[in-house]
Structure 1
Amino acid sequence: MIKDKQIQIIETVFKNFQKQKNKTDADGITHIIDAGRYTSLERFEREKELIIKSHPIVVGATGQLQSNGDYFLHDLTGTPILIVKGKDGVVRAFLNMCRHRGVRLLEESEGKIKRNIVCPYHAWAYDTTGCLKAVFHEQGFDGVNAETHSLIELDCWVRLGMLFVVPNPELKGKFDIDDWLSEVYSITEDFEFGDLYPYHFTSETLDCNWKLVVDGALEGYHFKIAHANTIGKYFLDNLSLNMENKLHSTIVFPKRALEKMKELPETEWRLRQGANILIHIFPNTVILIEPDHIMVVSFVPIDEKTTQFYSFMLLPTEPQSQKDKDYWDLNAKIFWNAISEDNEMAVLQQKSFNGYSDTEMVVGSYEKLLVQFEILVDEMISP
């Protein structure tokens, strides 16, 4: 984020101190959201096909593929995805299925391809660019060649230390990833992140709809209450700053440390040192920019009432000592203690809605980004 914008945001937070004291920090407008959107199977199926499978989603970290031939699998969307760093150093994504009879080519969740990807059924072989290299008894297959039967490729991009893939092969070539992420770039511009080394991969299955988890990330109204015993004491109560965009939302969570900047000249104001910056990368990923690292969390819907939640850290450099590891492990623990409290609230919401979905949520002025997200979801799945 360019320096002028950082100063503008910090000034706005300072102004909101007084507005909050005067109870003039909100417009008071409330919104109504139907709880049935979190329990409907028919709606979930449209969301999964038209949103999760049809847009660039984060499948992992660039650093998971350190060497040529390294690969990992991603099956959470329902599409069997193989992400591999080719012998030419290019990262690509393919459907993890043989072009002969559709057998899964690789079963280990991660590993290294030494030469070719070989089908365990009839030994059809593909190189790390997806090209068909060998057909067992090829004389039995007229018209089968590298041009017609190489692996089915998916759009795949390396951006911001993360790997983005569109799970639907029919949409290959439909997205300009840099245009898609332009709002994210405007926030991350001028921030120094280092090498973005991936660390502390964690996964958890949550008994709730995926949108409830996203909703919980898009407001700071809950911090003082839900996080009273963890991170709540470090942040200014209900002074988060919402930045509405067309697609990807941003919310700034000011820390108490930000108050000390009042005593410094503007030239020394640094937003990352006084606040956490959360960016929701539509549809299902949140990155939390902290002073010295980034947390990445993604929420993949399994069914209308179940979500697979996974996260990893992006560090400026690879930890070199036990002291380094202890430091980053402590940061991960603090994050997960807080995020578990958020997840617990989403699960409790789902329990209520499972028993009685003929109700509504009331969403207030401090939760506008939540409303923006839910409206965008509605637009994406409309006929």
Structure 2
Amino acid sequence: MGISTQLMDDVKECARAEAERRTYPPQFPALPPVPGGRYFDPAFAKLEADRVFSRSWLFVAHADQLRNIGDYVLLDQLDKPIMLIRGADNAVRAFCNTCRHRGAALVEEPQGNVGRRLTCPFHAWTYSLDGKLVGYPEAMNFSDLDRESHGLAEIRCESWGPLIFINLDVKARPLAAFLGSVGEDLSDFAELDGRLHLVDRTVREVGVNWKLPVDANLESYHVNYVHRTSAARTLQQSGTGIQLLPNGHSRMLVLYRDTIDGKALSPFPCVFPNLGDLPYCGTFSYHVFPNLSIVFAGTGLVFLITNWPTGPSTSVYNVHWCSSLAVDQEENRKLSDKVIAALSQVLFEDLDVLPGEQRSLNAGTLESLRLGYQERRIYYLHEAIDRAIGFEQVPETLRVPQLLASFVQE
């Protein structure tokens, strides 16, 4: 599997053709204004929480965060108290961090190891690592308590190689079906558990709606201005090729300038051979609906950006930095730190400019967003959000017309 040679050529040709384009594409519709209320309205934020984040597959952790049996990680990205835990069978599962007796939290620290069992600190109800209730004190005080029906509440959890996803919707289709062509293109991920290492993680609170940082990852129009002393020195912003994919996902290649040697920028051993030379041609990335950006810096370094709503106008920005080189050696650590520092500068330049946009939205001085052709991935995200919510459930004043279906590449 992986990207075919023909598709690789098509992706590169799309970016090259964009660099030569001088007029608006005649076959593409003018994008309607996107209502500003979608970025601050509390009722709309609740619709997103209930219909988007509660029903989508969400990337939440890297397997290296819980490598040993009994390791756990608390997830703070969602309103529900959820933990990941590695079982005796080496599988990673997700459970509500809630004792089935009286609701006490089973673990309090952000991550750690519970040993062979989970024991509630309140009344010592005890659970196996796969969530079964295995014991509780003074059993004679409970009449006919059915242990099988009092196991921990399990959340759907699937792994894509080292990447761990959860979904709060018990009826959701499998992760592979949700990923669709993204999973096919990036099939190397499935074989990378233990080979693609988590080398660093960035977490930053930002005073903006969750979509604003996502939007910044979906377009390159700002590169020559926000990143004029950083990324613009290596990227040819006009050479931005975009493909809209099923299920709200998308793909983007921003070409390097002709003088840039992509391999020299990221000297990490290759673990994504099925991508060919695409990651060396420029910044190559995918958006996975709703909030995940997978960005390649060569074929041996990839970073995964997620942004999580904490309120209508606030969010938490997460980056998982992953490398083919483990950082147990000082030389590898120094190389990773150097590259991550340069890339972080670019990411933080985006975050620094976004609060001004949020203030304008909150104040009503920006009533709507006017998007251009190179920002169509943002509009496509809004379309997908409305489809996930249910078009008729979105207030009429906040809806976006569904226009881009015919431009999606199957």
Aligned to 1:310: 318
User: What SS class does the counterpart of residue 103 from structure 1 fall into?
Assistant: coil
TM-score by length of 1: 0.91
How is 1:88-127 mapped onto 2 (pairs within 5 angstroms)? Answer: 88-127=89-128
> Which 4+ stretches in 1 moved above 6 angstroms?
258-261
For residue 274 of structure 1, what is the aligned residue in structure 2? 281
Counterparts of 1:1-383 in structure 2 under 5 Å?
1-19=3-21, 23-24=22-23, 26-27=25-26, 29-166=30-167, 168=168, 171-189=169-187, 195-247=195-247, 248-257=249-258, 270-291=277-298, 292-356=300-364, 359-382=367-390, 383=393
Give the deviation of 1:257 after TM superposition. 4.7
CA distance in 2 between counterparts of 1:342 and 1:126 reads: 44
User: Deviations 1:172-197 (Å, cap 9, x if unpaired)?
Assistant: 25321110111212331468985111
Q: C-alpha displacement at 1:346, in angstroms? A: 2.3
CA shift for structure 1 position 226: 0.9
CA distance in 1, matches of 2:276, 2:72: 42
In structure 2, the CA distance between the partners of 1:258 and 1:241, relative to structure 1 (3 Å rule), is farther
* Count of residues in correspondence between the two structures: 371
Q: Matched residue of 2:317: which SS?
A: strand
Instruction: Give the 3 Å change call, closer, same or farther, for CA 146–70 of structure 1 in structure 2.
Output: same
Asked whether the 8 Å contact 1:132–1:145 carries over to 2, the reply is no
Letter in 1 for 2:182: V
Checking the alignment, whether the CA contact within 8 Å between 1:243 and 1:250 is kept in structure 2 is yes
What is the rounded CA distance, in whole Å, between the counterparts of 2:285 and 2:382 in structure 1? 18
User: SS in structure 2 opposite 1:203?
Assistant: strand
Q: State the one-letter code of the partner of 2:87.
A: G
Q: Which SS does the other structure have where 2:115 is aligned?
A: coil
Q: Against the structure 1 CA distance between its residues 63 and 260, is the aligned structure 2 distance closer, same or farther, given a 3 Å change threshold?
A: closer
Contact kept, 8 Å, 2:69 with 2:115, in 1: the verdict is: no
Q: Distance in 1 between matches of 2:147 and 2:89?
A: 18
The one-letter code sitting in structure 1 at the alignment partner of 2:286 is I
Gaps of 5+ in 2: 263-274, 394-410
* Aligned partner of residue 323 in structure 1, secondary structure: helix
Partner of 2:398: none
Please tell me the root mean square deviation across aligned C-alpha atoms, in Å: 2.1
Corresponding residue number in structure 2 for 1:265: none
Identity of aligned residues (%): 23
Query: Hey, what's the Cα distance between the residues in 1 that align with 2:252 and 2:51?
Result: 26
Matched letter for residue 6 of structure 1: M
Instruction: Report the CA distance between 1:76 and its aligned residue.
Output: 2.1
Equivalent residue, structure 1, for 2:269: none
**For 1:321-347, what per-residue CA distance to the aligned partner results, in whole angstroms no more than 9, with x for missing partners?**
212111111111112111111112322
| 3-state SS of 1:380 partner | helix
Cα displacement (A) at 1:43: 0.7
Distance 1:148 1:191, change over 3 A: closer
Give distance in 2, aligned partners of 1:346 and 1:116.
Answer: 45
Q: Which amino acid aligns with 2:183?
A: Y
Query: What 5-or-longer segments of structure 1 have no aligned partner?
Result: 262-267
Distance 1:345 1:26 in 2: 29
Q: Distance in 2 between matches of 1:276 and 1:236?
A: 10
Cα gap change, 1:129/1:254 in structure 2, threshold over 3 Å: closer, same or farther? same
Give distance in 2, aligned partners of 1:123 and 1:257: 64
Asked if the contact 1:257–1:274 (Cα under 8 Å) also holds between the matched residues in 2, the reply is no
- Given that 2:61 and 2:163 are in contact with CA atoms closer than 8 Å, whether structure 1 keeps it comes out as yes
AA partner of residue 294 (structure 2):
I
TM-score normalised to structure 2 length: 0.86
Q: In structure 1, what is the Cα distance between the partners aligned to 2:353 and 2:332?
A: 32
